[in-house]
Amino acid sequence: MQYRHSFHAGNFADVHKHIALLALISALQKKAKGFLFVDTHAGEGLYDLAGADSRRSNESEAGVTRLLAAARQPPDVLGAPIEEYLRALATLRQRLGGSAHAYPGSPLLAASAMREADQCVFVETLAQQARALQRVMDQPALLVRTAVRVVSGDGYQQLKALLPPPQRRGLVLIDPPYENPDEERQIATAFTEALTRFETGVYALWYPIKKQHDTDLWLARITRGIQQPVLAIEMCVTEPDSAVGLNGSGMLIINPPWQFDVDAAQWQPQLHDMLGGKSGTRVHWLVNEAG
């Protein structure tokens, strides 16, 4: 069956990934010069948590819905990335007429955070989903101010063609469904090619955590040969070896912004606790801790 993100929108992994994404964008925006954001696996951009797919899986209950409930009594000092994510979600829902069930995907969250100087390219392989994403970007109520291009195609191929960006500043999100047995090779090749073309880019790869040991071996294979600093930030809501399936969410970041590790070590445990997690979080360098 073809992967449909509408079953998973707003689950704990989406929340973790989207907070990390907004934190990366915010770090890049500390400099006035614009940058290119590429989302190689973009999805539809906007999901209805009251829709049939979402209701069938119920995954958002333990994700965004739980976080919003916990945010009514937040910790004394809520991590800035969590706060920013909650603010972005509230703003988008308000722009959509107060919908309590709308959930933005990575392209909509990113486009909403962008300044006029920044540019976005969103790639989605399924033509129908790419069209849906284009419609989202065209909605006047969502006030997307930045230059946005939606491409229907293969994210890895497009990435090659887009690098290096003319601005010489860029952030790439790679968020595959991991249903293709060839995905590992495609990711490793994409990293090698992208770093050859644009070695200073910031690259973020989302990955699932099922069994921690397997994940660690996989991370070592994926990053073999990379010279740039590579950080991994992880949050498990159930013990990494339990049989529930998806136990945790990870983000591998090549060339992470300064202090991204320190910040993640603060906001990840908060997020874990707000989501009622029963395991923990981890921040670790896979290659060359940035100096």
Known catalytic residues? 175
The CA distances from residue 277 to 49, 66, 140, 270, 291, in Å, are 21, 11, 38, 10, 32
Which of 6, 65, 119, 129 touches ligand SAM by CB under 6 A?
Answer: 129
Which of 10, 155, 256, 277 touches ligand SAM by CB under 6 A?
Answer: 155
Ranges of beta strands (E only) in the chain are 36-39, 46-48, 102-104, 119-124, 147-152, 170-174, 202-209, 230-236, 248-254, 280-287
Which of 126, 132, 147, 246 touches ligand SAM by CB under 6 A?
Answer: 126
Q: Tokens 């320190």 identify what position?
A: 262
Asked if 208 is part of the footprint of ligand SAM (rule: CB under 6 A), the reply reads no
d(CA 151, CA 131): 9
Among 35-43, 211-219, 229-237, 282-290, the segment contacting ligand SAM (CB under 6 A): 35-43
Rounded to 10°, the helix 183-197/212-222 angle is 40
Asked if 54 is part of the footprint of ligand SAM (rule: CB under 6 A), the reply reads no
d(CA 93, CA 288): 40
d(CA 249, CA 151): 27
Tell me how many residues contact ligand SAM (CB under 6 A): 22
Position closest to ligand SAM via CB: 105
Site for ligand SAM in 89-108 (CB under 6 A): 105-106
Q: Kindly tell me which of 19 and 287 has the beta carbon lying closer to ligand SAM.
A: 19
Which of 124, 234, 261, 263 touches ligand SAM by CB under 6 A?
Answer: 124
d(CA 88, CA 96): 12
Asked if 121 is part of the footprint of ligand SAM (rule: CB under 6 A), the reply reads no
Q: Kindly tell me which of 14 and 59 has the beta carbon lying closer to ligand SAM.
A: 14
The CA distances from residue 107 to 45, 264, 286, in Å, are 6, 22, 27
Least CB distance to ligand SAM at residue 124 (A): 5
Asked if 177 is part of the footprint of ligand SAM (rule: CB under 6 A), the reply reads yes
Which of 102, 123, 159, 204 touches ligand SAM by CB under 6 A?
Answer: 123
Q: Tokens 């990840």 identify what position?
A: 268
Q: Which residues bind ligand SAM (CB under 6 A)?
A: 3, 5, 14, 17, 39-43, 105-106, 123-126, 129, 154-156, 175-177
